[in-house]
Structure 1
Amino acid sequence: MAKKGETRPPATSPEVQEARMVNMAYKLAEKQMMEGTASSQVITHFLKLGSSREKREMEKLEEENKLLRAKTESLESAKHVEELYAEAIKSMKKYSGHEDE
C-alpha cells in the first residue's frame, strides 16, 4: 500500500487500476484485522471467502466457464466441418462436370 505522499505511476489500463485498488483494500483489511480494528463487515467478508459454501460456488462457476468454453469450441468445430463439407461438395461437382459457376 502506498504511503502518504508516495506517488505511483498512472495505471496503464482500467484492469491494472482495479487490481491496484483491490490489493490496497486487502492490505488495509489485513492491517485492520491485525490491529483489532476491523469492522464486522470486513470480518464477515473474509469469513465468507473461507467458507465451504463459497468454495463450492467458486468451483461451480469454474465448471460453468469450462462448459461455456467447450460449447464455444463445439460450435466452432461444427462450423469448420460445415465449411469442409461445402468445399468437398463443390470439388465433387467440379470433378463430375456439374459445376454451377
Structure 2
Amino acid sequence: MAKIKKTNAIPNAKKNRVATSPEARENQLISLAVDLAEQQLRDGTASSQVISHFLKLASTKEKLEREILEKQKDLITAKTENLHSAQRIEELYENAMNALKGYSGRDDSDD
C-alpha cells in the first residue's frame, strides 16, 4: 500500500520570500488573512464576523470615514509644509537684515 504524505501546508499556497522587516512581515500576514477570508467567502464557509467585516468595509459610512482620514492626512502635510516654509522665510529675513546692517556700516558681531 502506498504511503500518503501529510503536510500542514495550505493547498495552492504561494511561496513568498522571508520578510526583512516587521512591517513587511505584517503585510505578508495581512495578505494571507485576506486571501483566506476570500477563499472562505467563495466556499461559503466564512464566519459571520468575516462577512460582517467585509460588509462594513463596503458601507457608505466607511467610505466617508476613509475620505475624511485622507483629507486630515493632507491637512497635516500642508500644515507641516507651511511651518517649514515659515521657518525658511524667517531665515531669509534674518539674512537680509544682517546684510543691510553690513551695508550701513554697523558692526554687530557681538550679537
- Equivalent of 2:101 in 70, 93, 98: 93
Structure 1 match to 2:81: 73
Q: Deviations over 1:43-90 (max 9, x none)?
A: 000000000000000000000000000000000000000000000000
Contact map agreement 1:48 1:54 (CA 8 A) in 2: yes
Structure 1 match to 2:25: 17
Higher-RCO chain (CA-CA 8 Å, sequence separation at least 6): 1
Residue 93 of structure 1 aligns with an amino acid whose one-letter code is: K
- Equivalent of 1:41 in 31, 46, 49: 49
Q: Deviations over 1:20-51 (max 9, x none)?
A: 00100000001111111100000000000000
Alpha-carbon distance, 1:8 to partner = 4.2
Residue 4 of structure 1 aligns with an amino acid whose one-letter code is: A
Aligned equivalents of 1:89, 1:64: Cα separation in 2: 37
Does residue 31 of structure 1 match 2:36? no
Q: CA RMSD of the aligned region, Å? A: 1.6
Aligned equivalents of 1:39, 1:99: Cα separation in 2: 79
- Across the two proteins, how many residue pairs are aligned to each other? 99
Instruction: Give the structure with the larger helix fraction.
Output: 1
Q: Structure 1 unaligned segments of length 5 or more: list them.
A: none
Alpha-carbon distance, 1:4 to partner = 0.9
Aligned equivalents of 2:63, 2:71: Cα separation in 1: 12
- Equivalent of 1:51 in 56, 59, 73: 59
Residue 104 of structure 2 aligns with an amino acid whose one-letter code is: S
Q: Structure 2 unaligned segments of length 5 or more: list them.
A: 1-7
Please give the TM-score of this superposition, normalised by the length of structure 2: 0.84
